[in-house]
Amino acid sequence: MQFPLQSFIAVSAANPWTYVLFGVIGFAFGFTLEMSGFGNSAKLAAQFYFKEMTVLKVMFTAIVTAMVLLFGAVGLGILDFSQVWVNTTYIASGVLGGLIMGVGFIVGGFCPTTSLASASTGKIDGMMFMLGGFVGAFLFGETEQYFTQWYNNAGYLGRLTLDQVFHLPVGVVVLIIVLMALFMFWGSEQLERIIGKKDMSHEPKLRLVGAGALVAVALAVVFIGQPSLDSRYAKLTFTRTVNGEPVTYTADQMLENRLVFISPAEAFKAQYNQSMNPIYLDVRSEADYNLYHIQDAVNVPLDRLTEVVPTLLSEPPANSVFVVMSNDETAAVKAWKTLSASSVPNVYILEGGINNWIAFFGKDDPQFQPNLNAGDDQLRYTFTAALGAGYKSCSPSPIEYEKLTFAQKIVLQLKRDKSGGGCG
């Protein structure tokens, strides 16, 4: 079974169980916070005077526990990390918002979720914080329009993870954070002893065992590594409706049955289909691309394809259809395998590649001479000049080609709305 479970990815009235599941998750969340003492503002605020480091201990224990389990599961291939919501990075609004939150924290004594744990047990200050929260969120909604440009663009880096920032394997980052957390725990206990005058001799010895176990699991995460593209490719499945029945195909079967090859006509007509947003990815060399390419095609040479995967996963609208193309099909098939294994949705291959496109839309163009020496995946035409998208057939006339018949292969699969992830 592959996690996360598709049916639970978004709450919807069509599947009431999603409400139940998220409700249960929230219940466990609130229960845990309350039993850890997070309903008590004096306990929370003590953190900032180094008297009692409960907040830091609970929070970082939670982070490192969840982190080693998460990336362990990803490494073992149980969980598809590209399907896990990763908070989008907006440097400017994130940092300023964080600084403002810090003020609210030390003045109010709570953060939003801890105020829920507090209010629900009858703490009146928790209720006041919650009430203030509704006002604060309302005020933000009313004022966002005055700085919406800054809010939505300043320092926007998309889905960016620390391993990408530091160019380190995920496992190594996890191990560093675990060691950092353990060092902070040690430091916190020293502070509690010195400033908080707490007797540390009764602290359970079991915590040392826990620390050892955490390091061991983190080391295992480093050792297991993250799943290779090959292993992810082998697990891919696609569903198509055949004679009214859903049929599941593997990725190789999709290629064998040519279900992901779309004709030049379909690739062209996708531009005029309101339901989809086609993005043409030309994976040939820059030289070939400069000779001839389809209007609006983006040149991403095959060996640099993995660099753009994070962008493809996070940025374009949900109804994007990626059409990869090479001169024939060899490089495009490789690109399709890479992108599909990286969980990029709706990837298709231009059938017969650019050569087929020219044969279809530009067969009468006198500027093209057949290149009889062309090998596999090479241009079968010669060009008098490198005009790029300057030829007539690069952007076929929608009037001239208004009526085209083709077997429709694109089955739009809407990925979930990522804007619904995180805290909304």
- Interaction with another protein in 75-134: which residues (CB under 8 A)? 78-79, 83-91, 93-126, 128-134
Give how far Cα 109 sits from Cα of 46, 61, 117, 354, Å: 9, 21, 13, 63
Find the length of the chain.
Answer: 424
- Residues 323 and 281: beta-carbon distance below 8 Å: yes
Out of 77, 362, 388, 421, the residue judged to bind another protein by CB under 8 A: 421
Alpha-carbon separation of residue 247 from 24, 240, 241 (angstroms): 34, 5, 6
Phi/psi of residue 279, nearest 5 degrees: -125, 115
In the complex with another protein, which residue's Cβ is closer, 148 or 239? 148
Print burial letters for 287-310: b (CB count within 10 Å at least 16), e (below 16).
ebbbbbbbeebebbbbeebeebbb
CA dihedral 353, 359, 361, 362 (to 10 degrees): 120
- Beta strands in 173-294, from DSSP E residues, in sequence order: 237-242, 245-250, 261-262, 277-282
Asked if residue 160 binds another protein (CB under 8 A), the reply is yes
Cβ nearer to another protein, comparing 214 with 270 = 214
Closer Cβ to another protein, 398 or 422, answer by number: 422
Residue 196 interacting with another protein (CB under 8 A): no
Q: With binding defined as CB under 8 A, does residue 299 bind another protein?
A: no
Q: Does 46 bind another protein (CB under 8 A)?
A: yes
Among 207, 235, 304, 392, binds another protein (CB under 8 A): 207
> Footprint of another protein on residues 331-350 (CB under 8 A)?
none
Q: Which of 12, 228, 237, 257 binds another protein (CB under 8 A)?
A: 12
One of 54, 326, 327, 338 touching another protein (CB under 8 A): 54
For another protein, the closer of residues 19 and 272 by Cβ is 19
If binding is defined by CB under 8 A, does position 26 make contact with another protein? yes
* Pairwise CA distance, residues 118 & 49, whole Å: 21
Q: Which of 15, 76, 153, 164 binds another protein (CB under 8 A)?
A: 164
Rule CB under 8 A: choose which of 15, 28, 231, 258 binds another protein. Answer: 28
Which of 15, 75, 138, 233 is close enough to bind another protein by CB under 8 A?
A: 138
- The answer to whether 161 contacts another protein (rule: CB under 8 A) is yes
Closest residue by Cα to residue 56 from 214, 191, 208: 191
43: its two tokens: 């306990």
Site string for another protein, 383-412 (x = CB under 8 A): ------------------------------
342 vs 228: CA distance, rounded Å: 10
Tokens found for residue 360: 């279809």
Residue 204 engages another protein in binding (rule: CB under 8 A): yes
For residue 210, which of 180, 184, 187, 178 has the smallest C-alpha distance?
Answer: 178
Q: How far is the CB of 416 from another protein (least distance, A)?
A: 8
The binder of another protein chosen from 15, 76, 144, 275 (CB under 8 A): 144
